[in-house]
């Protein structure tokens, strides 16, 4: 009898654990707006470490360009995340640059930061907390 009760308790505990929201993760929603060109894909990347900035994203979502506004959702723990977005017009998997390193495709950054030069990690950080509303980031063409 004790073995049956113990087995039932273990089963209940396992079921309870599997119902937790992705083990402490919540939905960080990034609303991408100002999608003017219906071509290619929208790439939304978030970074959780400065040493990976613009090299290896923590998470990445690919969106369609068939609407002027799209939303990327990331299941991540609360914390600070730097955000980059670009519209890959020719679907080559990278941001195309001109001869002096300026993006030729639409881009966007956390906090709608518009850098002069390479974007800085700290300037693109979003503090993801329980009270954060979906963040809207507008794509823009540099030239």
The yes-or-no verdict on residue 135 having pLDDT over 80 is yes
Q: In the block, which residue shows the tokens 């955000």?
A: 83
pLDDT tens-digit series, residues 64-123? 999 999 999 999 999 999 999 999 999 999 999 999 989 999 999 999 999 988 999 999
Q: What is the CATH number assigned to the segment(s) 24-138? A: 2.60.40
The Cα 137–Cα 9 span in angstroms is 47
Q: What tens digit of pLDDT does each residue of 18-59 get?
A: 444 445 789 999 999 999 999 999 999 999 999 999 999 999
pLDDT at 30: 97
State the average pLDDT for the chain.
88
Half-sphere exposure of 13 (CA within 13 A, CB side): 6
- Give yes or no for residue 14 having a pLDDT over 80: no
Q: Is the pTM of this model over 0.85?
A: no
128 contacts 78 by C-beta, under 8 angstroms: yes
- Beta-bridge partner residues of 76: 26
Encode burial over 42-51: b for 16+ CB neighbours within 10 A, e otherwise.
Answer: bbbbbbbeee
Q: Is the pLDDT of residue 8 over 60?
A: no
Domain map of the chain by residue range? 24-138
Using DSSP's 3-state secondary structure scheme, residue 123 falls into helix
């Amino acid at each position: 009898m004790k073995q049956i009760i113990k087995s039932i308790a273990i089963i209940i505990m396992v079921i309870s654990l599997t119902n937790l929201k992705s083990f402490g993760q919540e939905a960080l929603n990034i609303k991408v707006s100002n999608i003017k060109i219906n071509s290619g894909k929208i790439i939304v990347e978030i970074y959780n470490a400065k040493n990976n900035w613009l090299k290896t994203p923590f998470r990445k979502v690919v969106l369609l360009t068939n609407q002027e506004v799209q939303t990327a959702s990331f299941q991540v723990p609360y914390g600070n995340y730097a955000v980059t977005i670009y519209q890959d017009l020719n679907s080559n998997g990278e941001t195309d640059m001109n001869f002096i390193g300026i993006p030729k495709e639409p881009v966007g950054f956390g906090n709608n930061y518009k850098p002069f030069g390479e974007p800085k990690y700290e300037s693109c950080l979003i503090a993801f907390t329980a009270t954060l509303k979906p963040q809207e980031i507008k794509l823009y063409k540099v030239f």
